[in-house]
Amino acid sequence: MKRSSVVVRLFILTTLFLVIFVSIAFKLQLKSFEEYYFERKINDIDEKYFDFMALYESSHWNQTELEQNIQYFENQNDIKIAMIDNYYSIINERKYKIFILNNDGRVYEVQLNNVLTKFDYMKLDVHTGDRITVRGYIWGEQKKNISLMQMVLNDVMVFDVIEPRLNDRLKVDEVEGTVIRFNLPDQQDLIFGVDYTGIAGVVDYYYFTPKNGIKKDESFIYTEEDTGKKQIVKVFPSNRKGLKSIFIMTQQQPIIEATQALSDFSPILITGSLLLGAIFLFIFSKMISSPLIELEQKAQKMADFDFNEYIEIKHNDEIGGLSRSLNQLSYNLEKTIKELNDANEKLLDDLERDRKIENMRKEFIRNISHELKTPLGVIRAFTEGLQDGIVENDVDYYSGVILEEVTTIEALVKDMLELSKLQTGAYKLELETFKINVLIENVILKQTRFASEKGMSFTFERCEYDQVFGDYRKMERVVSNFVSNAVRYGQPDTRIEVKTSVSERRIRFTIQNECEPLSKEQLDRVWDKFYRADESRSKTLGGSGLGLSIVKEILDQHQAIYGVENTAKGVLFCFEMDKYGNSIV
């Protein structure tokens, strides 16, 4: 698009102001403009009348088509048309009627147009089969039309324009019978209005009032009583059967009042023009300065790092170009600052992650050093004793202790490697379908001898449906750890309760032993690496301190829910896995 200059705009606006000023002064000299305007509108009406008659006479419209085509012609030419019959009714007007069948089998039509108002129609509740009595004048060639003056529906007066004092003396026709059908305004008709207004009032004025202001060519100016609007009307008599005349009406622009006002205003025209010019220049200066002020405010907000508002581009000139560039600059700065903030946040996250990794590394080294310190010390001491030959008679004992400590170190390294594989994703689950109850029974069987040495026994409550999908070997490690811990830390001569149950779409495993409850800190840290609730007791009972950490990683990879809690008897461990298949239990 070609850009327009501020100078060009200033020139165009100033020129328009001068043109308007000269035009107003020139129009003050046109004393005969009203007559010219009226004659031109009448000539336009004549042309449209001949166009309409050529269309009408070449067509054979029914009533519906007549209404639709006249309405279309009116909208296209910005006029109103009324075709008047011999009874002074508008033919192309939509007819609202009630049809009555009297006791003699004769059908009458009650004419409602230009009688009922919009509010009368809204209150009118008529149905087929209602008893109706209508008073008015019967007219028409077949004497079947009734001009409505009173209407009684089901013994209720619903419309009455007869004064009470004339009710008995006024000689009007009366029809009594049954409503057989009716045509009333729909909702759209009521919205746009059905009152006695518009061209119907023009017809009444022309035929039933003195013809003041009507010219020889049957043209005149009609003033609406309610609104005061002026309409230019021309009447075209017709010799067609059933057609008395055709009215065409168009609005008159308020030229007469405008020219008269300007004529009266001429003594102070120059003073007014100067004031108008001063106001115009003030407005124009505001038009030029307002965008610049807005640009300055936006630039100040940008300096304060506020990029939430954009300048509305109203013109395509230099100011518009500057506004567009400033908006682009604001967008680029906001985007760059956001990217820097995101990079800083990512850097902080990386630093925090590195710090946690470093802390984990230090803690891991510290724990490993702590775990290896004792067995290595024992191995060193017993090996030196063997080398010095001070244990000639106890070689088997010393070598047995050394082998036991090596086994401890081997188990620790093995657990560390397994945990590392699980945490780094080096181990992939070997998924298969299996029955969890069978797995638990096998584990309990392996631990029975160890439990019996402490006088402990197992109870196992099985659920009916126990099929799951997972890594059998790893889940066996989980259950074995829970069962061995229950035996290892349980009180002698007690019972370990194992249970599987179904909860909605999941299978739940629980194991509970009888022992001292765990503290809140112990419950929170029981899954941590190398954590032992009781260091001295745990070392005596064995274990690397990694068992529950490995269990946690295995259950996480199976997307299982797990936990630990104190009970009235002791401590309960549990986990939940999804059932396999769609079996309903």
Of 98-102, 214-218, 416-420, 531-535, the range with the lowest mean pLDDT is 531-535
Do 18 and 152 belong together in one domain? Answer: no
In contact, 479 and 509? CB cutoff 8 Å: yes
Sequence-separated (6 or more) residues with CB below 8 Å from residue 400: none
Do 151 and 272 belong together in one domain? Answer: no
Dump pLDDT digits (tens) for 528-564. Answer: 766 665 544 444 445 556 778 888 888 888 888 899 9
Number of domains making up the chain: 5
d(CA 228, CA 212): 17
What SS3 class is residue 75? helix
Please give the torsion angle defined by the CA atoms of residues 436, 439, 441 and 445, in that order, rounded to the nearest 10 degrees. Answer: -160
Query: Rounded to two decimals, what is the model's pTM?
Result: 0.37
Rounded mean pLDDT, 251-276: 61
Do 78 and 160 belong together in one domain? Answer: no
Do 478 and 363 belong together in one domain? Answer: no
CATH number where 489 lies: 3.30.565.10
Query: Sorting pLDDT into bands at 50, 70 and 90, what band is 477?
Result: confident
d(CA 71, CA 554): 82
Do 432 and 517 belong together in one domain? Answer: yes
Do 380 and 498 belong together in one domain? Answer: no
Given 387, 402, 423, which residue is the final one in a domain? 423
Given 141, 175, 192, which residue is the final one in a domain? 192
What 8-state DSSP symbol labels residue 309?
-
- Tell whether 539 is covered by a domain: yes
Dump pLDDT digits (tens) for 218-238. Answer: 888 888 777 777 888 999 998
Of 35-44, 255-264, 280-289, 473-482, the range with the lowest mean pLDDT is 255-264
Do 214 and 180 belong together in one domain? Answer: no
- Tell whether 343 is covered by a domain: no
* Closest to 489 (Cα-Cα) out of 526, 516, 523: 516
Do 75 and 211 belong together in one domain? Answer: yes
The pLDDT of residue 1: 43
- Tell whether 54 is covered by a domain: yes
Do 232 and 264 belong together in one domain? Answer: no
- Tell whether 488 is covered by a domain: yes
Phi, psi of 171 (to 5 degrees): -90, 100
- The region that residue 309 occupies, defined by phi over 0 for left and psi between -120 and 50 for alpha, beta otherwise, is beta
What is the enclosing helix (H) or strand (E) of 51? Answer: helix 33-57
Rounded mean pLDDT, 455-467: 91
- Angle in degrees, 0-180, between the axes of helices 33-57 and 63-77, rounded to the nearest 10: 150
Q: Choose between 65 and 180: higher pLDDT.
A: 180
Given 151, 176, 192, which residue is the final one in a domain? 192
- Tell whether 261 is covered by a domain: yes
Do 130 and 180 belong together in one domain? Answer: yes
- Bridge partners (DSSP) of residue 497 are 459, 512
Q: Choose between 408 and 173: higher pLDDT.
A: 173
Range of the domain at 119: 97-192
- Tell whether 159 is covered by a domain: yes
- Angle in degrees, 0-180, between the axes of helices 547-557 and 395-424, rounded to the nearest 10: 30
- Tell whether 125 is covered by a domain: yes
Dump pLDDT digits (tens) for 374-413. Answer: 666 667 766 776 776 666 667 776 677 677 667 666 655 6
- Tell whether 456 is covered by a domain: yes
In contact, 585 and 468? CB cutoff 8 Å: no
Do 171 and 289 belong together in one domain? Answer: no
d(CA 62, CA 390): 134
Do 55 and 203 belong together in one domain? Answer: yes
HEC string for 195-224: CCCCHHHHHHHHHHCCCCCCCCCCEEEEEC
What 8-state DSSP symbol labels residue 172?
-
CATH number where 367 lies: 1.10.287.130
Has residue 137 got a pLDDT over 80?
Answer: yes
Of 34-48, 324-338, 440-454, the range with the lowest mean pLDDT is 324-338
Q: Choose between 550 and 572: higher pLDDT.
A: 572
Sequence-separated (6 or more) residues with CB below 8 Å from residue 528: 549
